[in-house]
Structure 1
């Protein structure tokens, strides 16, 4: 008879664990098959047309993330490397963004709710581009940026811990 109160306390906790452990459909990273042998394990592959980012793993597998990519005529293709990693980065609009949105402040501090970089960013060697989080999760899966790759904040946190400086990044059409 004494075990009944324990079970009554345990069941709600198990339910909460299941609720929080369940992946979010459509945005959570997933392990998938990846048989494109052009890319070595550890390479980040962005497929703009799919709006997906792949972290290539051993054994013909990859972790796939849903991302936002550059809008028409802004998406980049080619090769780069991660040059730096930042948690809660500040953001300054580029000259191009400033032309389109002249009322933006010069700097938005990291951690601010209006900071478009989200919780983390990794800059790339190809110019003013980065792979970063976002303060607009509804943009994920769309072509909306000025060339950066946006990820859900929980996904950039995951990728951030898996890769380092000089990680190769390849963006395909």
Structure 2
């Protein structure tokens, strides 16, 4: 695998997601993070990228397109089980602690990330 030149830094206190390209500023997004500090802090990697993702809740699969599926149009899985970066059908939840622990973006923003960020991209989450 070729090393990625992109890196992601998420600030839970600011609810921002910063993308750098070869160490230089690329773009800053507003995001939602986990309520009650449920978004884990640490260094992770994107391991998988899924368009039109299903969501698993209480042992059941909620298909893409169902109004109960909260993931939006894209899922970027992290190397910590059940956590990732995803879209949302509720843009009003961006900019605050609003998720069950994942990092959420408006669908248009996560689509940009889906296009440019390959598996292996590092993701640093800080308080």
Flag as ranges the 4+ runs of structure 1 deviating above 3 A: none
Distance 1:77 1:59, change over 3 A: closer
Q: Which runs of 5+ in 1 are unaligned?
A: 1-39, 99-104
Alignment of 1:93-112 (within 5 A): 93=57, 98=58, 106-112=60-66
- Partner Cα separation in structure 1 for residue 48 and residue 23 of structure 2: 28
* Contact residue 91 and residue 110 of structure 1 kept, 8 A: yes
- Partner Cα separation in structure 1 for residue 52 and residue 94 of structure 2: 19
Query: Over aligned residue pairs, what C-alpha RMSD do you find?
Result: 1.7
- Partner Cα separation in structure 2 for residue 60 and residue 131 of structure 1: 21
Residue by residue over 1:107-139, the C-alpha shift from the partner in whole angstroms, topping out at 9 and shown as x without a partner, is 210122331000000110012101000121111
Query: Tell me, what secondary structure is at the counterpart of 2:27?
Result: strand
Alignment of 1:87-126 (within 5 A): 87-93=51-57, 98=58, 106-126=60-80
Where does residue 4 of structure 1 map in the other structure? none
* Contact residue 114 and residue 135 of structure 1 kept, 8 A: no
Query: Tell me, what secondary structure is at the counterpart of 1:107?
Result: strand
Q: Which runs of 5+ in 2 are unaligned?
A: none
- Partner Cα separation in structure 2 for residue 88 and residue 113 of structure 1: 13
Q: Which has the higher strand share?
A: 2
- Partner Cα separation in structure 2 for residue 109 and residue 171 of structure 1: 28
* Contact residue 57 and residue 63 of structure 1 kept, 8 A: no
Q: Out of 108, 114, 137, which is 2:91 matched to? A: 137
**TM-score for both structures, normalised by structure 1:** 0.67
- Partner Cα separation in structure 2 for residue 124 and residue 157 of structure 1: 16
Structure index of larger Rg: 1
- Cα distance, 1:61 vs structure 2: 1.6
**TM-score for both structures, normalised by structure 2:** 0.90
Higher relative contact order structure (alpha carbons within 8 Å, sequence separation ≥ 6)? 2
Q: How many residues align?
A: 124
